[in-house]
Structure formats: structure tokens, C-alpha cells
Amino acid sequence: MALMITDDCTNCDACTPVCPNEAISEGDIIYVINSLTCTECVGAEDDPQCVLVCPADCIIPNPDFAESKDELQAKYESIHG
């Protein structure tokens, strides 16, 4: 499933440069993750890199976007060719 950023975000920008899909951007108040391009780093890394670098521990699974690992891999491949 895609990830999401909670209101605990401190706008530190640590997550943006580590996203292989450029799915993270600055929102109006906090950073946001585009669920259409977030693959939880499947296809690029073993673990979601944004979760690993987030000092506020505010990146969690988005319950509205339940996807299997195979679906995330297919999404990654459609983004990166």
C-alpha cells in the first residue's frame, strides 16, 4: 500500500531526496505523498527509505491504498519503464 504522512510532520525535508519515485512533495502545511506514485520503494529498495530517514516517525501505511507487493512492483515498473 502507499504510504502517508501524518500531522506530526516537522517539514524537515529528509524524506524528499530519498524517494526513488519523487512521490513526496511539500504540501500546504506538511509534506504529502502521492499515492499514485508511492511504491513503498518496492522495485528500488528493500525498505521504504522515507520511513528510515524520518526523524518524526510520521510516515505510515495509507489504509485507503491497499496494494500487494506485486501491485507495487508493477506500479514501480510503469513509472520507471
Above 90 in pLDDT, residue 16?
yes
How confident is the model over 43-69, as a mean pLDDT? 97
Round to whole Å and give the CA distance between 47 and 66.
17
pLDDT digits over 22-40, tens only?
999 999 999 999 999 999 9
Q: Residue 33: beta bridge partners?
A: 24
pLDDT digits over 38-52, tens only?
999 999 999 999 999
Q: How many CB atoms lie within 10 A of CB 34?
A: 13
Cell numbers 520507471: residue: 80
Domains and CATH numbers, the chain: 3-70+75-79 (3.30.70.20)
